[in-house]
Structure 1
């Protein structure tokens, strides 16, 4: 069954181009020109993915993204926007976007990112190997049930916090997490220590897993990219 994608974009030319390329790849596509109409679509048939412009009439893409994320963390969102400052990209990812593509962009690149994000969503849901509960991102393999980590095929000796942080990043590829978010998600809401604990844990992971694509988002926190993204 074809993945159902809703494109939320008010530029007719971009609508037509994106729709044509996605349909050519076998996707089921619906196009709408406002976040309000997109929300109505959400009420009747939830898509497998949103492709979302930021600068929309009425409710903007940021508010729509926030509204969707209040309902579900599962449906991936690719943001397409003329806003190309680092702040805009970080904000889009922080609000729940799974990827961010700046205009003008290649339709072929968008299609490639759509396929990649959908693949990662399936990995996150465990569809790639539900029986063994494995998650593979590039050269990183995580046995979730057994809480074991493999890097380039070699099992690594990791602590509980190292495992929890790696699993969090691996199930949220390209998403930027603030240090405060990481403290809550890895250490728990009752933790009252310094956010330096996050930096120290990242350093230990980088030392154990040489060249792991765990990147610093300066002045904010960290994110992980797949090996494919690093190439």
Structure 2
């Protein structure tokens, strides 16, 4: 079945360029130039992927992403922007974006990332159908996780996790006591394997430790395996 992609950018020449390259790869696209219309379409139509510029009229891309995730819409989102500031990148990913690409970019790289994220989400759906980690809840020491509700409690306190933090923590929990490379986590959670982006993993691990560990500097749950990656220790 043809994948439907919503393209959102206020620069029409960029939309035409993206439309050309994605259509060549067999995708069906719908083009939008403002954030408010993009939000309405994303809420009402079953897109498989959203490519979303940050600087948009009416409603910026960050706000569009935030509102979609707040409504439980899980369509994969790639943010694109001419801004290369790390703060914007981390903010977009923390709000639930699946990827962030800085302009100017290679259309070939963009298409490769779109395909990688779609492969990952398809794999996740297949795993969900046979997942043995879908009990009402699981307990790991002081942590209680409710997979279907996307909630994690530490003792009786509900932790405020971003969508990506929850996804990363759940994946680590599904592989207790197993050392996972940064590259594997990057591919599994963000859907691509570009080595220069492994800092994304480190940033999210640091934020998770701040929230779930009694002492983030001496973590008991998420342990660093030097030169390799991370391991979730089942207490």
Structure-1-length-normalised TM-score: 0.66
**Root mean square deviation, CA, Å:** 3.4
CA distance in 2, matches of 1:86, 1:196: 23
Confirm whether residue 196 of structure 1 aligns to residue 217 of structure 2. yes
1:65-86 Cα shifts (integer Å, max 9, x gaps): 1111101262111011000021
Within-5 A mapping of 1:143-222: 149=175, 158=177, 172-173=189-190, 176-177=203-204, 179-182=206-209, 184=211, 187=212, 193-198=214-219, 201-202=221-222, 204-207=223-226, 211-212=228-229
Number of residue equivalences: 181
Query: Is the Cα–Cα contact under 8 Å of residues 82 and 104 in structure 1 kept in the other structure?
Result: yes
CA distance in 2, matches of 1:88, 1:34: 19
Q: CA deviation at 1:180?
A: 4.5
Give 3-state SS (helix, strand or coil) of 1:7's partner. strand
Structure 2: runs of 5 or more not aligned: 134-169, 191-199, 231-235
Q: CA deviation at 1:103?
A: 0.4
Within-5 A mapping of 1:15-164: 15-72=15-72, 74-125=74-125, 127=126, 130-131=129-130, 149=175, 158=177
Query: Is the Cα–Cα contact under 8 Å of residues 180 and 195 in structure 1 kept in the other structure?
Result: no
Q: CA deviation at 1:7?
A: 0.8
| Cross-structure match for 1:11 | 11
The list of structure 1 runs, each at least 4 consecutive aligned residues, that deviate by more than 2 angstroms after superposition, is 128-134, 167-184, 193-198
CA distance in 2, matches of 1:132, 1:70: 25
